[in-house]
Amino acid sequence: MISNRAHGLGLLHSTIQYLATAGLLWTWHFTMDRVYQPSCFPIRRLAIYTLLMAVAFAFHPQRRFLHLLHAAPREHFGFTLRQTVLVFSILPLFVAALKDQSISRAFLFSFFPLLYGLLYWTNTRLPGFLSALAFRGPHQQATVVVGSPEHIRQSAPWLNHKRAYGLRMVGCVAPPGAPVPPAPGPSALPYLGSFCDMECILKARRAAQLIVLEVPQDEDIRFLAALCDRQGVRLFIVNDLPERLQMPLAFMEEDGKQLIGLRQEPLECPMNRLLKRALDLAIALPVVVFILPVVNLAVYLFQRWQAPGPLFFLQRRTGFHNEEFLIYKYRTMRVHSGNEATQASQDDPRVYPAGRWLRSHSIDELPQFLNVLRGEMSIVGPRPHLPEHSRTFTHAAHGFKIRAFIKPGITGLAQVEGYRGEVRELKNLTDRVRSDLYYLENWSLALEWKIIVKTARQLIRPPKSAY
């Protein structure tokens, strides 16, 4: 019900804005037509441009209305400017596409500030007016809230926003089994009684809505559902599972069943995986064919000069679904330099001088493009760890093993945000895991390119943690 009201107000706001903009376009056309001869442009073209501008008002009317209803003046300025540019760009875009020579520059340049002024006025004045007009009188309905004082305090801004959709908060009811708290301050909602008095409270207050701020027990849900149906009251239950679990949840529907997961995973979509793999191959193939041979020779010469031994250093790492694989790196340490599981530290004596430069500029990771071609790694993803470190980190950082839901990467969000190098304390590890999980849950091609570009910058100007 609440979302339907918000969506309806959003559509009404967008429609009025479009009609006002169309009216402004036609009015300004005829005004300019009296000043400039011949006509600014033919009436038939004017009608086409008017219809095309409707596209700019069709994006997310509900979300836009919710934002405008409670936005600060500074937010109104920024939003209106973006909206004006979007709407106005329709004109020059199609003028260029249709090669329309009849429209005057004077018309275009003078129309932009007029359009901004109109949209700013409708964005600041219209939402509140429409809300007051749509939900006055009988549409302003009494609403009772069930929740503890803490839940009421946390939900106060959200509850206040719902007044714009005709929900008049008349008071609170203590949750099941909880005593009625003391009388609140003058600005807070009064407590009307305990949960066992719910039926009398709904009747006395002539409530039309009941909002429960936390998911009740099974018997309480059945009681509320039956009571609200019997009394003709709308029942809304706030899903507080994310708050209880202290993590966001993902809601989905699968074959008629509604499921709750702990996270969204865009890379579970085969099309997204295909796009990511195509990007990996498009970058890895040229690197392996054209760049790797030249760098191999240069690194080999450095090694022969400062630390003779094999060109590559192969090491077991945990990857996709925690399966182990051999990772390729240029050897940056002297041969027989001790325990492989010991993390490299700043000024590590095991690293030869040229190897230190290779590590700081991440050139030692270049052979991992071979792992990318073999399908064991991706260009972007969580960094793979030694099996010994993975077993240790699993117990130290919550969600560490979740990183294995996707392939490990040569670079990753954690690395470009500065979380790289030696893990000295628990915070170093938790920051990396948090960044890796954000990448897993919010993957997109735009995010992929952003990480790749930032990595390229860090190759030129390495961070302090690169050693």
Position 102 scores a pLDDT of 63
Phi-psi region of 193 (alpha: psi -120 to 50; beta: other; left: phi over 0): left
Residue 342, pLDDT above cutoff 90: no
What would the mean pLDDT of 200-211 be, rounded to a whole number?
A: 92
DSSP, residue by residue, 388-421: HHHHHHHHHSTTGGGGGGS--EEE-HHHHTT--S
Convert the pLDDT of each residue in 104-145 to its tens digit. 667 777 888 999 999 999 999 988 888 888 887 777 889 999
Residue 318 dihedral angles phi and psi, to the nearest 5°? -95, 135
305-319, 336-350, 379-393: which has the minimum mean pLDDT?
Answer: 336-350
Residue 376, pLDDT above cutoff 90: yes
Tokens of 239: 């899903």
pLDDT band, very low/low/confident/very high, at 157 (cuts 50, 70, 90):
confident
pLDDT band, very low/low/confident/very high, at 467 (cuts 50, 70, 90):
very low
Convert the pLDDT of each residue in 248-304 to its tens digit. 788 877 777 878 888 889 999 999 999 999 999 999 999 999 999 999 998 889 888
- Which is more confident, 408 or 391? 408
What would the mean pLDDT of 50-74 be, rounded to a whole number?
A: 76
CB 359 within 8 A of CB 344: yes
Count of CA atoms in the C-beta half-sphere (13 A) of 431: 15
Q: pTM for this one?
A: 0.68
> For residues 409 and 370, what is the distance between their CA atoms, to the nearest angstrom?
12
Task: For tokens 């990753």, name the residue.
Answer: 412
pLDDT band, very low/low/confident/very high, at 361 (cuts 50, 70, 90):
confident
What would the mean pLDDT of 177-181 be, rounded to a whole number?
A: 81
pLDDT band, very low/low/confident/very high, at 464 (cuts 50, 70, 90):
low
Best CA proximity match to 54, nearest among 22, 11, 32, 13: 22
Average pLDDT, the chain: 84
> For residues 27 and 50, what is the distance between their CA atoms, to the nearest angstrom?
12
CB 204 within 8 A of CB 137: no
Cis amide leading into 38 (omega within 30): yes
What would the mean pLDDT of 224-240 be, rounded to a whole number?
A: 91
CB 411 within 8 A of CB 455: yes
- Which is more confident, 399 or 226? 226
What would the mean pLDDT of 410-420 be, rounded to a whole number?
A: 88
What would the mean pLDDT of 30-55 be, rounded to a whole number?
A: 72
> For residues 24 and 28, what is the distance between their CA atoms, to the nearest angstrom?
6
pLDDT band, very low/low/confident/very high, at 339 (cuts 50, 70, 90):
low
28-42, 183-197, 358-372, 430-444: which has the minimum mean pLDDT?
Answer: 28-42
In CATH terms, the superfamily for domain 138-246 is NAD(P)-binding Rossmann-like Domain (3.40.50.720)
- Measured from the Cβ of residue 332, the count of other Cβ atoms closer than 10 Å reads 24
Tokens of 185: 């301050």
Task: For tokens 């600005």, name the residue.
Answer: 187
- The alpha carbon of 13 is separated from its chain's Cα centroid by a whole number of angstroms, namely 26
Task: For tokens 């919550």, name the residue.
Answer: 398
Residue 306, pLDDT above cutoff 50: yes
> For residues 394 and 399, what is the distance between their CA atoms, to the nearest angstrom?
8
Position 30 scores a pLDDT of 81
Convert the pLDDT of each residue in 78-106 to its tens digit. 888 888 888 888 777 776 666 666 666 67
Share of the chain above pLDDT 70, in %: 88
Best CA proximity match to 195, nearest among 170, 159, 220: 220
Position 187 scores a pLDDT of 54
CB 144 within 8 A of CB 224: no
What would the mean pLDDT of 220-246 be, rounded to a whole number?
A: 89
> For residues 312 and 319, what is the distance between their CA atoms, to the nearest angstrom?
19
Position 99 scores a pLDDT of 67
Task: For tokens 């709308």, name the residue.
Answer: 234
Position 198 scores a pLDDT of 92
Residue 338, pLDDT above cutoff 70: no
SS3 content of the chain, % helix, strand, coil (to 5): 60, 10, 30
- Measured from the Cβ of residue 145, the count of other Cβ atoms closer than 10 Å reads 25
What are the residues whose beta carbons fall under 8 Å from the beta carbon of 2, sequence distance 6 or more? 162, 165, 167, 236
Position 36 scores a pLDDT of 65
> For residues 199 and 207, what is the distance between their CA atoms, to the nearest angstrom?
10
245-259, 272-286, 344-358, 365-379: which has the minimum mean pLDDT?
Answer: 344-358
What are the residues whose beta carbons fall under 8 Å from the beta carbon of 20, sequence distance 6 or more? 118, 122
> For residues 119 and 126, what is the distance between their CA atoms, to the nearest angstrom?
10
Residues of the chain with CATH 3.40.50.720: 138-246
Task: For tokens 């996709």, name the residue.
Answer: 320
Distance, first Cα to last Cα, the chain: 57
